[in-house]
Amino acid sequence: MRNPKRSLPARVVASPQWLFLPALLFLALFWVAPIGPGILISCQEPVAGTAMLEWAGLANYRLLLTEKTFRTNAALTLWYLLGVVGFSTPVAYLAALAIAGRKRGTGAIRALFLLPWVVPPVVSALIFRGLADPQVGPLAAFYQWLSGNPDLIPLHHPFWAMVHVIVHSVWRSVPVLTLFLAAGLTTVPDELYEAAEVDGAGAWQRFRLITLPLTRSHLATGLLLISAFTLQDAETIYAMTGGGPGHDTEVLAVRLFREAFAQGQLHVAAAIGTLLLAAGVALMAFYLILFRRAESAS
């Protein structure tokens, strides 16, 4: 048998942190390398008449952060995210409670639940655009009833266009979150519910005191995933509303798409991308804290 101390340089043996080097290189290659050029472009601007870019420092960020439209984009992104997370979570819990356990037919129902997730995003967005057609769309009829305005054209209305965009995203997100929560529910021992019932706990108390704390880590992971998708979601909104009416559904990802591909302002798009990345990292940190708290609580 070979002696590992012999095959490794003495310096590595003395400082075992060198063993992290391959993992760090791997991370650098697949994570930092693609992001680095994006951040670099965000600090540049094009030189007229050439394909070259020149250093611009933080000018693109200054331009965005002092622009009212960008602040609107950011506020809409937050609203979109909160809307999707806020509506998806209770629906997903209900669905997970319904399909958890080994009842007959739950396997088929789980497979059906995944259907919205496997439909290509642009296809589902176009279907939803049709559902909001004021002449024939059933969702349009529902919005008209809800708003009390029979002439409402949902995708031309600042508020209802955003509601419709959120409804579509909730429809896509619920299956994934449901799967995570259903997996979490299977780890909760039945004895806890039985004991709670003996103690006279109601359904809400059982959910609040047992289900929620014990599935919090699954919830955090699921929310992390759908939040990341929601933050990056440009194609479905673009296909449904084009960011309109006005700027009323133009979240940051849609703005990024327009800057890059409709207006050819790659440097500004890169700055938006970097800010979105920062928001994503912040969100990830928030969910990790939630996750750790859940871990320590359980």
Task: Closer to other proteins by CB, 216 or 255: give it.
Answer: 255
Helices (H), the chain: 4-7, 10-14, 21-27, 33-42, 59-65, 68-99, 106-113, 115-118, 121-131, 138-147, 158-185, 190-198, 203-206, 212-214, 216-232, 235-240, 252-257, 266-297
Minimal distance in Å, beta carbon 100 to other proteins? Answer: 42
Residue 243 interacts with other proteins (CB under 8 A)? yes
CA 185 → CA 51, 99, 188, 189, 215, distances in Å?
A: 55, 10, 5, 9, 7
Q: What is the DSSP letter of 114?
A: T
Nearer to other proteins, 67 or 194 (CB): 67
Q: Which of 1, 10, 23, 48 binds other proteins (CB under 8 A)?
A: 48
CB closer to other proteins out of 21 and 47: 47
Binders of other proteins in range 151-170 (CB under 8 A): 151, 153, 155-158
Exposed / middle / buried, residue 126 (Cβ in 10 Å: 0-12, 13-18, 19+):
middle
Number of residues that bind other proteins (CB under 8 A): 30
What is the distance between the alpha carbons of residues 251 and 193, in angstroms, rounded to a whole number?
42
Q: Looking up tokens 């109601």, which residue turns up?
A: 202
55, containing H or E segment: strand 53-55
Residue 144, both tokens: 């008209």
**262 lies in the site for other proteins, by CB under 8 A:** yes
Rule CB under 8 A: say whether 58 interacts with other proteins.
no
Pick the piece of the chain touching other proteins (CB under 8 A) from 75-83, 187-195, 238-246, 270-278: 238-246
CB 99 within 8 A of CB 110: yes
Q: How far is the CB of 254 from other proteins (least distance, A)?
A: 11
Among 7, 15, 17, 50, binds other proteins (CB under 8 A): 50
Q: How far is the CB of 157 from other proteins (least distance, A)?
A: 7
When binding is defined by CB under 8 A, the residue of 86, 107, 189, 264 that contacts other proteins is 264
DSSP 250: -
Binding piece for other proteins, criterion CB under 8 A, among 91-99, 167-175, 215-223, 256-264: 256-264
**Contact status: 148 vs other proteins (CB under 8 A):** no
List contacts with other proteins (CB under 8 A).
Answer: 46, 48-51, 63, 67-69, 134, 151, 153, 155-158, 242-247, 258, 260-266
